A and B are shown apart, each in its own frame.
Chain A
């Protein structure tokens, strides 16, 4: 996959997040790093930066000094207690006395697990440095934050993303049109991982990459066709709208939270809904969103939301 093929190996080849990269380079030169938190939206180079840093510190064999853990796959207090401790406590051989533990999606860790991490960080600082990766640093408990150097990653600026995609398409001998590039930025908005995946999927169609190709790939990859679903509901076709909903949930595995976010966005874009109704419906959307968060059944609740759209359609038609 191109995402891996073109992932920078060294800090030197990272194109964005310049301030951060400079600071990390100075760590690598000093051959010492503090515990770090890399926070920021997806696809902005957090994991890449951590891997590059390790590479620049230890050289080609950096994997021997590194462990990656994913909090969302193996979260919980036991993982921290056992895996992390075992790894952290043993000193490595080599000129650098510490190892690196990358804890990805750390904001998904339970607060108990984070508490357990706190002591480990202190006790084994000599032998192990942590890099916590998170979308939101706010979800990481205070005591851990205060022990770490924070780095805030931001979405890639348009020029950086474009340059990188052009570089890839040249190496892969794929024809990338300016419109296509536009479309990718429009859809992925500075999330480089998603952008590269989109590019590769578009390239797999074997045609020059135009905006049409990009949109058709996005359509096929994320068939979040909420507009049509809402339209069906507003016209009073509940069964049709429910079938659409089911298609998204069952066939494409779209999460309920994604569907509701999309509905919310689409609601305010729709021209044929009176302004007053947009606000009324937003309340309904919010209520259903809240219910989903509290653990209710996605399909049933979203069906209820569709029913609200049906009611809105009826009242709107009546009032002309």
Chain B
């Protein structure tokens, strides 16, 4: 059954909500003050950017305190009349069934001038006479339209949660959905959402639903989802321009940095330049651009960047003599960027194994990787018994054994073999 994860995994109690401890504490203590009679400010205005849990906080609070939540949001009309019918509800604290009541006006930013004519004024009237707590929610409390209302409200600011807590929340959801996520992948989604938890969860669902694992590779596309068209056009400009200027102008169109653009060109070029001599020339030009990159690294002279740009754009463009512009060629995400992130963990494991070998075999860790690792791999893939002895002697951990064994199955056999 398809259900939105933002709904399915909505926090049910205050304890599950990430971030904003101060705002929540303020809200709770204001609500508590209602026990001692009607406080000075009868309404609380929660404000802050979208998707960070303002509404969810109120809902969880109502549920924790067993309050009856009466809610109105932008989908309802908020003309004066509509609000007034609402006012009756707000006129008493207790309900017929003994439950206390909480009135919520959500999405106040949605009050538009004409359709919600008089809406703000009506809300102010309701607030002034309220006999039960009223919570108002808006993105921007300093919207001029809300200025008169602001005066009657306790202002409580909600802030964006940090990347770590968003990632933590995503991990909990993955756990409940039975998905094994890579830490890097979650961090990437969290970072991209810029604190908007709701959109982060939506992204997560779009990328991970139905999968058992979520890798960095799966999500790295996300960054280019919006830019894909832009990159596509930039590359066509570089591959098919007849003039140096046009090809060079592509760099300004691309909203990725030079190194990233270089990778896109390098990856996609052979699929466009189908005449081999054209391709060979273009490749040589790209290599020249790379040469300038290494010169920049060595001399720290960034002025040389302009030559990198020349050779990776104009140089590639003029290399085309015979190739006719191709029809549709699917865009390819740079393989090297994918593998770079995917293999990061592997490389770490490898170097750790190097240090283990160093401890035993009187060799540097760096040299151990070239001199021993390839042979260990053969042994671990083929002979669980021998591998198990070596693993123990070198004191390899499970991750290292699995790296050398190649598969989980063989790694298990090795662990069992002793």
User: Contact check: which of B284, B294, B361, B374 meets A222 at CB < 8 Å?
Assistant: B374
Interface string of A233-253 (1 = CB under 8 A from B): 000101100100010001011
Contact A197 B276 (CB under 8 A): no
A309 closest partner in B (C-beta):
B280
B370 near A: Cβ within 8 Å?
A: yes
User: Contact check: which of A51, A291, A304 meets B283 at CB < 8 Å?
Assistant: A304
Contact B371 A314 (CB under 8 A): no
Contact A4 B374 (CB under 8 A): no
What's the interface size class on B, roughly?
35 or more
Pick out which of these stretches binds chain B: A81-89, A149-157, A160-168, A199-207: A199-207
B362 near A: Cβ within 8 Å?
A: yes
B343 near A: Cβ within 8 Å?
A: yes
Complex alpha-carbon distance, A166 and B375, angstroms:
19
List of A residues within 8 angstroms of B372 by Cβ: 1, 3, 197
List of A residues within 8 angstroms of B283 by Cβ: 238, 303-304, 306-307
Interface string of A245-285 (1 = CB under 8 A from B): 01000101101000000000000000000000000000000
Interface positions, chain B 350-373, Cβ under 8 Å from A, are 350, 358, 360-367, 369-373
Complex alpha-carbon distance, A307 and B367, angstroms:
31
B411 smallest CB distance to A (angstroms): 16
Contact B393 A1 (CB under 8 A): yes
B222 smallest CB distance to A (angstroms): 23
A291 closest partner in B (C-beta):
B291
User: Contact check: which of A201, A222, A236 meets B379 at CB < 8 Å?
Assistant: A201
Pick out which of these stretches binds chain B: A27-35, A67-75, A175-183: A67-75
Interface positions, chain B 291-307, Cβ under 8 Å from A, are 291, 293-294, 297-298
List of A residues within 8 angstroms of B279 by Cβ: 238, 307, 310
User: Contact check: which of A193, A236, A252 meets B276 at CB < 8 Å?
Assistant: A236
Complex alpha-carbon distance, A113 and B283, angstroms:
41
Complex alpha-carbon distance, A239 and B374, angstroms:
27
List of A residues within 8 angstroms of B369 by Cβ: 253
A44 smallest CB distance to B (angstroms): 13
List of B residues within 8 angstroms of A294 by Cβ: 291, 294, 298
Interface positions, chain B 101-116, Cβ under 8 Å from A, are none
List of B residues within 8 angstroms of A114 by Cβ: none
User: Contact check: which of A1, A242, A304 meets B390 at CB < 8 Å?
Assistant: A1
DSSP majority for the B interface? helix
Complex alpha-carbon distance, A72 and B364, angstroms:
7
A225 near B: Cβ within 8 Å?
A: no
Contact A314 B294 (CB under 8 A): no
Contact B270 A238 (CB under 8 A): yes
Complex alpha-carbon distance, A194 and B365, angstroms:
16
Contact B284 A304 (CB under 8 A): yes
Contact A300 B286 (CB under 8 A): yes
When A68-B362, A104-B362, A205-B382 are in contact, do A197 and B375 touch as well, CB less than 8 Å? yes
Contact A70 B298 (CB under 8 A): no
B336 near A: Cβ within 8 Å?
A: yes
User: Contact check: which of A198, A203, A250, A255 meets B339 at CB < 8 Å?
Assistant: A250
Contact B358 A70 (CB under 8 A): yes
A308 near B: Cβ within 8 Å?
A: yes
List of A residues within 8 angstroms of B293 by Cβ: 296-297
Given A47-B362, A296-B294, 13 new contacts (CB under 8 A)? A1-B394, A3-B372, A70-B363, A72-B366, A205-B383, A221-B377, A236-B276, A246-B336, A246-B339, A252-B374, A291-B294, A300-B290, A301-B290
6 residue pairs A–B, Cβ–Cβ below 8 Å: A105-B364, A204-B379, A238-B270, A253-B369, A294-B298, A311-B277
